[in-house]
Amino acid sequence: MALMRRLENKVKALCDERLETFLARRAAELVDDAILARAAGRTPATTVPLSTAHREMRGRRQKVLATCIRDPEVDFEVKVALWHVPDLHGFIGHVIAEDEEASYRLLRRMRGVSDFGYWSSVERPRSVTKLEWTKRGDLWKRVTRGEFGTALVFTFDALLFPEEAAIARRLPSHEARIEEAAIEAARGRWLRARETEVTEHNIFGLMREFSAERADPSALGAQLYQEEHHRISELLPADVAPLLRNCGADVTVLPE
């Protein structure tokens, strides 16, 4: 029971962290978009970034439920399926989540939990003996045959209304925000300079081409990126936390 309580607490914390990170990144992006739009003489898409980010997140989650189409960025749910195995005097189980790797990393760090993974389609890891690998394979086959009964499935999800302070702790750095905005602005200018029409058939190729140019100091992509990075670094404030609720024209935070 103590192990299950620890599992519940840690997995819930992971779900909450993913939600907080999504809201922080999206709200910060909306703040920066509003500042850059105002600097260009355009009307911002929103002046309430955090509320907008939350509304977008809820809408996307509802779409997942309605259509069963995956949207990993807003799917914070983690399911842990466990089977009681008398041979091990314990349980074996697996995780079902969009971010399975993060979930497994968390579980491996827990006291009383160890790796018992097995895949028939991959080579045995060097860290696992042949005897141990065979044992794992045999037990997982017995699980799939139903020898250990129905799994106990625990479902965890994020709290949909995290505290603003928790979101503020997940905000991206000033430099990361500048870089993201500079890439977006430079890419737009790059496409317009080439008079290229973006379609669903060429978008990925164009993105790769722009990325390659951005790494070449003599290329147009790199020059545009440097220009936008310099311009945007003078506009975006280092701290956007005060602007999460309201980034209207009457609210000003100067860049550092």
Reported as a single tens digit per residue, the pLDDT across 136-157 is: 999 999 988 888 888 888 888 8
Is 20 within 8 Å of 167 (Cβ atoms)?
A: yes
Two tokens, residue 182? 């500079």
Burial class (CB in 10 A: 0-12, 13-18, 19+), 162: middle
Residues 119 and 187 in one domain: no
In angstroms, the Cα distances linking 196 to 9, 137, 200 are 51, 53, 13
Q: For residue 66, tell me if it sits in a domain.
A: no
CA-nearest of 81, 79, 118, 120 to 99 is: 79
CA-nearest of 60, 63, 69 to 19 is: 60
The mean pLDDT of 105-134, rounded to a whole number, is: 87
Q: For residue 11, tell me if it sits in a domain.
A: no
Residues 182 and 130 in one domain: no
Segment holding 31, helix H or strand E: helix 2-39
The number of residues in the chain equals 256
Residues 139 and 177 in one domain: no
pLDDT digits (tens, 9 = 90+) for 218-235: 999 999 999 999 999 999
Give the percent of the chain with pLDDT over 90.
53
pLDDT digits (tens, 9 = 90+) for 66-91: 998 899 999 988 888 989 888 888 88
Please give the model's pTM, rounded to 2 decimal places: 0.81
Residues 127 and 181 in one domain: no
Residue with tokens 């907008």: 52
Question: Which band of pLDDT confidence, cut at 50, 70 and 90, is reported for residue 254?
Answer: very low
Q: Please give the pLDDT value at position 37.
A: 94
Residues 134 and 180 in one domain: no
- For 102, other C-beta atoms within 10 Å of its C-beta total 15
Question: Which band of pLDDT confidence, cut at 50, 70 and 90, is reported for residue 117?
Answer: confident
Give the percent of the chain with pLDDT over 70.
96
Q: Please give the pLDDT value at position 200.
A: 76
Q: For residue 41, tell me if it sits in a domain.
A: no
pLDDT digits (tens, 9 = 90+) for 9-67: 888 888 999 999 999 999 999 999 999 999 999 999 999 999 999 999 999 999 988 99
> Among 111, 131, 156, where does a domain finish?
156
The mean pLDDT of 163-169, rounded to a whole number, is: 94
The mean pLDDT of 160-185, rounded to a whole number, is: 94
Q: For residue 147, tell me if it sits in a domain.
A: yes
Segment holding 112, helix H or strand E: none
Burial class (CB in 10 A: 0-12, 13-18, 19+), 195: exposed
**How many Å separate Cα 145 from the centre of its chain?**
35
**How many Å separate Cα 54 from the centre of its chain?**
15
Residues 151 and 192 in one domain: no
Residues 147 and 179 in one domain: no
Q: For residue 63, tell me if it sits in a domain.
A: no
In angstroms, the Cα distances linking 22 to 72, 156, 160, 187, 209 are 11, 17, 12, 23, 28
Q: Please give the pLDDT value at position 138.
A: 92
Q: Please give the pLDDT value at position 237.
A: 94
Segment holding 91, helix H or strand E: strand 90-97
Q: Please give the pLDDT value at position 249.
A: 63
> Among 125, 156, 187, where does a domain finish?
156
217 or 200, which is more confident: 217
Residues 87 and 143 in one domain: yes
Residues 85 and 151 in one domain: yes
The mean pLDDT of 95-123, rounded to a whole number, is: 85
Is 11 within 8 Å of 17 (Cβ atoms)?
A: no
> Among 93, 122, 156, where does a domain finish?
156
Question: Which band of pLDDT confidence, cut at 50, 70 and 90, is reported for residue 248?
Answer: confident
User: Total structural domains in the chain?
Assistant: 2
Q: For residue 222, tell me if it sits in a domain.
A: yes
Q: For residue 221, tell me if it sits in a domain.
A: yes
Q: For residue 187, tell me if it sits in a domain.
A: yes
Q: Quote the domain boundaries for residue 95.
A: 78-156
Instruction: Please list the residues that pair with 2 across neighbouring strands.
Output: none
